[in-house]
Each structure stands twice: as C-alpha cells, then as structure tokens.
Amino acid sequence: MSHPAPPETAPTGALTHRQILVVLSGLLLGMFLAALDQTIVATAMKTIADKLDGQTAQAWCTTAYLITSTVTTPLYGKLSDMYGRRPFYLFAIGIFIVGSILCGTANDIYQLAAYRAVQGIGAGGLMALAFAIVGDMVPPRERATYQAYFMGVFASSSVLGPVLGGFLAGQGALLGIEGWRWIFYINVPIGILALFVVAKNLHLHHVRSDHRIDFLGALLLTAGIVPLLIVAEKGNAWGWTSGASLGSVIGGAVALVLFVLWELRMGEEAILPLRLFRSSVFSVTGVMGFVIGMGMFGGIAALPLYLQIVRGETPTRAGLLLLPLTLGIMVASGVSGALMSKNGKYKIFPILGSALMIVALALFSTLKVDTPLWLTGTYMLIMGAGLGLCMQTLVVAVQNAMPAKDMGVVTSAATFFRSMGGTFGTAVFLSILFNSVGDNIKGRFDEVTKADPAGLAAASKQLDPVQAEALQAAGGSGNSEALNNTDFITALPRLIKNVFLTGFADSMHTVFLVAAVLMIPAFVLSFFVKEIPLRTTAGAEARAEDAETQADMAKLETTVL
C-alpha cells in the first residue's frame, strides 16, 4: 500500500511557496477551530450562563479554559522543539475535540468550567504551534506576507462565530438537543477534518534532540498561577485581607519563586529557559504581550455583555454588531504586514497599536444605555485596529530576535504571556463587573427613590411576586448573586428596568476604564522595543545552516587535535 510522500525540501530545509500553502491549509484549519470556539462561546456565554443559572460564575468557564491553555503552551513549545511539531499539533486537535464533546454534556456552570479546562489543554497547542511552524517555513521578512491568511481565519471565525453562537444559543432545541450545546458539538466535525488535513500534509524535516521534560516546572507554574486567579475571582467576596485571599496570594507567590529557582537549575532543559530573558526584545515584548492580553480579553469579554444585557440585543445581533472589531483587526494587520515585508521594520506598529487600544478602552468607558450603535461600532473599529497592529507584530519581532533553534519555545512563550494576561484580565474584569453591579443597581435605586418616588411606587405596583423578589434580592440588597440569571430584567417595568441597565452600564464603565489604565505600561514599553532588521532566512533553514556550521567546527577541531 502506498502512502503520500512528505513534501520534498531543499537541503537547507527551505520550502517552495506551493509547499508552504499546502502545510498552511492544515494549520489554518486548526487555528480556525480554536478561533471559532473563542468567538462562538464569547457571544453565547450570557445565554449559556442563564441556562445553567450561573451568570455571576461565568468567568470560571473562560478562566478555566485560559488557565490550561496558558500553562500547557510552554510545554507544547519545548516538546515540539525536541521531537517535532507534527505529533503535538495532532494531539492538540484531538484533545480539543474530546473537550468539546464533554462541554456539550455539562449540566451546571462549574461542570462546564471543568470541561472547558480540558478543551484548553488542546487550545494551548493550536495557536502557538501554528505560529512556530510558520516560523520554521517562512523568513521573518516574508512572514508578514502570510499574515493575510491568518487574519482571514480570524476574520471568518469572528464573523461566523458570533452568528453561529447567537443562532445556536437562541434555539430551544436542535435535533432533540438543547441549542447551546451545539456550540461545542460543532467543533467535532471541524476538528476531525483538521486532524485529517494536518496528518496528511504536515511533514516538516526535524532533527530530534533528546532532553529531559520539565514536568515539575509546569506543575510549579500551575501552582503559582491558579491561586492568584482564584483571588482575582473571589477576592472581593472573601475580602482582600481575609485568610483565604492572603493564603492564596502567598501560596501562589511561593510556587512562582520555586518555579524560577527550578528553571535556573534546569538550564536548557527548562520549560521556559531563563536565558531568553537576557534578550531585551524577548523581555519587553513578553511584558507587552501580558498587558495587551489583559486589555484584549478583559475588554472583549465585556462587550458582548454590554450589547446583550444593557442594549437588549439578541446573541445573533450582538455577534454581528462586533464586526467592526474584526474589520479593524483585518485592515490594520494587512497594512502593517505589507509595510513590514516592504521595509523590514516593525517598531512603529506596537506604538500606534497600544495607543489606539488605550483610546478605544477609554471611549468604551463612556458607553451608556442609549449610546448610538454606530458610535459603539466606531469605538470597536479603533480597538480592532490597535489589536491588529500589535498582535502579530510582537510575535514576528521576538521570533526574529531569537536563535532559530528556540523557535518553538520562543513562540510559545510569546503566546503564553499574552494568554496569561488574558487569563488574569478575564478573571479580574468580570470579577469587577459582577462584584460591583449589585451596589451600582442599589445606588441607582436610591437616586430614583429621591428623584421620582411616585414613579417608582407606581412601577413597583406593576411587579408580580417573582419580579418583586428578584428586585429585592438584586437591587434592594446590592447582592449580585441574584443576577445569576438576567432574563427577568427584560420583563420589568420601564423605570425599574432602566435602573438595572444603568447599574450594569456603570459597572462596565469601571471595567473599561481600569483596562485603559492598565494598557498605559504597554504603550510606554513599546518605545523600548529594539528594532532588529527582519531576517530573510526561515527558521528551519537557519537551523540547518547552524547544524552544518557546528558539524564543520567539530570536524575542524578533530582535525586539529
């Protein structure tokens, strides 16, 4: 039985444009799987949380996914440098499919969060390994040319995901299964197709290098991150100076210190070799990636909630209303990519991008119940342009600055920092939102009580007993736990409904304003990104040349001796 032969490569490992496109077809399908999942879930999360009576705990579904995807990302990078990209990319797709099936069977919000964690294990490899493989095939100077393909994936998933998410979340049942569950089941056929395409087409030359696998480093990193995320999620409810909060902070800090000490001891075997931080490009872009991740995930997580809760849009319409964000990413990324290919320079783009993100987040903080949707879309366009100028530029910059032999670990580290920022950003910002909304609603009720007591009394008489109970729990006591399901708001009398919506808008103002302030360090750091002329040699080719040079040196030493 004959088997398809892997693409032929030149002795240096270089691929032709056609061969690159064949490999890209598999990578893009895998990336589409992860990107579609993020957009489809983000749009439908409000509906899913309402169905599972877990609106105030919904952050855990995103946080659990981000924790596992963040922690596993460095492992994927290190292991793929050692044993090749292909087996780990296939594993990532496979475990993502399994996690998707499990998510579709969840019966409560915490079970869904646990299954999202399984999904995240696969997602940790889908993005990072795709960029590493492209780095192997394409020189940094030409890499920007291929950004159009990746942006096409992000764009199509950003358009299709919200529409599908809204449609499926809005279905009572589809083929006898609750509509929201199809949000996860839809990943299965796409994932199977991705497995087939990648297994058939992804054949890259790799020289195996045996090293110890730093499982203890991954464990210590997990032990350091998780307690800090728990504090970010529960700190306000526990009390920031409570024993639980302080214990989590101290435990996380100790684990992170032990992680650094262990990585120093492991040296080149480390999951995240600390020598990489000697490069100013690696260090600066890593911190920038973390901060941008916070602003990106924190800001974007709140936008669908604003559109659905405050503006009363359906999930489908909310998804379509996010299109300006996608357009901004596509246009800015395409323009910056073309300019990078032309002149080989990139420093200006993170500066402009981070500035635009600050402006957009500050503008988001002014959104009100009656803000025109065209104006909201304009703000999204600015936010998207900022993201488009920053996202791929930082990855190309750090890949270009570091040795080709570290392509996997460097690319995964860049993804890790951005994902870690996103993890903290999502937990912190959604925590701010739902921990403040009860008090904000109560404050708005107090204002209405003073300004229009007669109108409030008249509106209160229109409430049925269930609405009156929800009103007392959510507004009267400032208890946000009563907001686990926000569906009751739509049926409230107009005056009282406006109080709830304004209270939510007040909390979202705080979220966006905090995100804008946190983005300022990224803007400052962007001026310190060292600009190194983009190389014209692909990663695999550079590794082959390095190996040949080392072999020649070894022969020379043998001859001399």
Name the pTM for this structure.
Answer: 0.78
- Pairing relation of β-strands 173-174 and 177-178? antiparallel
Please name which of 220, 526, 491 lies closest in space to residue 354, comparing C-alpha atoms.
Answer: 526
DSSP letter at 236 equals H
**Alpha-carbon span 445 to 462, nearest angstrom:** 16
Radius of gyration of the chain (CA): 25
> Residue 561 and residue 558: Cα distance in Å, rounded?
5
Cα separation values, 551 from 12, 14, 63, 556, 558, Å: 14, 19, 47, 9, 11
User: For residues 367 and 305, is the Cβ–Cβ distance under 8 A?
Assistant: no
The torsion angles phi and psi of 178, rounded to 5 degrees, stand at -50, 140
Residues 6+ apart with CB under 8 A from 73: 124, 125, 128, 412, 413, 415, 416, 419
The conformation of residue 534, written as its DSSP 8-state character, comes to: P
C-alpha dihedral sign at 327, 333, 337, 343? positive
| Cβ neighbours around 212 below 10 Å, total | 11
Asked whether 353 and 362 are in contact (CB, 8 A), the reply is no
Write the CA distances from 334 to 328, 390, 392, 393, integer angstroms: 10, 12, 10, 11
In the numeric block, the tokens 């009390």 are attached to: 239
- DSSP readout, 173-194? EETTEEGGGHHHHTHHHHHHHH
Distance between CA 21 and CA 138 in Å, rounded? Answer: 11
pLDDT of residue 465: 62
* Nearest of 262, 393, 251 to residue 335 by alpha carbon: 393
User: CA-to-CA distance for 503 and 319, rounded, in angstroms?
Assistant: 23
Q: What is the pLDDT of residue 2?
A: 39
Other beta carbons within 10 angstroms of residue 486's beta carbon come to 21
The 8-class DSSP code of residue 170 comes to T
Q: How far apart are CA 162 and CA 37, in angstroms?
A: 10
The DSSP letter of residue 6 is P
Q: Which of 407, 401, 444 is nearest to 531 (CA)?
A: 401
What pLDDT is recorded for position 493? 74
Residue position matching structure tokens 């996608």: 326
Work out the number of other CB atoms within 10 angstroms of the CB of residue 308.
Answer: 25
Residues 6+ apart with CB under 8 A from 539: 135, 136, 137, 399, 404, 407
d(CA 411, CA 419): 12
Torsion of CA 451, 453, 458, 461, to 10 degrees: 130
pLDDT of residue 5: 39
pLDDT computed for residue 542 by the predictor: 55
The 8-class DSSP code of residue 11 comes to T
Residues of 230-245 as b/e, b for ≥16 C-beta within 10 angstroms? bbbbbbbebeeeeeeb
Cβ contact 58:430 at 8 Å: yes
| pLDDT tens by residue, the chain, 561 residues | 434 434 334 334 456 777 777 778 778 888 888 878 877 887 677 778 877 876 667 777 877 887 788 788 888 888 887 888 888 999 999 999 999 999 999 888 888 989 999 999 998 888 888 888 887 777 777 776 676 577 667 767 766 777 787 788 777 778 888 888 888 998 898 888 888 888 887 776 555 555 677 788 888 988 888 888 777 766 666 777 788 888 988 999 999 999 999 988 887 778 888 888 888 889 999 999 999 988 877 677 788 888 888 888 876 787 778 888 888 888 888 888 888 888 888 899 999 999 999 999 999 999 998 899 999 999 999 998 998 888 888 888 888 888 777 777 888 888 888 878 877 787 778 778 877 887 888 888 788 778 777 777 777 776 666 656 656 655 444 445 555 556 667 767 778 778 888 888 888 889 999 999 999 999 999 999 888 888 666 545 555 555 554 544 445 445 555
DSSP string, 487-525: GGGGGS-HHHHHHHHHHHHHHHHHHHHHHHHHHHHHHHH
Which residues touch 427 (CB under 8 Å, ≥6 apart)? 59, 63, 229, 232, 233
Q: Which of 10, 4, 69, 15 is nearest to 37 (CA)?
A: 69
C-alpha pair distances (Å), 465 with each of 51, 117, 284: 22, 39, 57
Alpha carbon 111 to its chain's center? 21
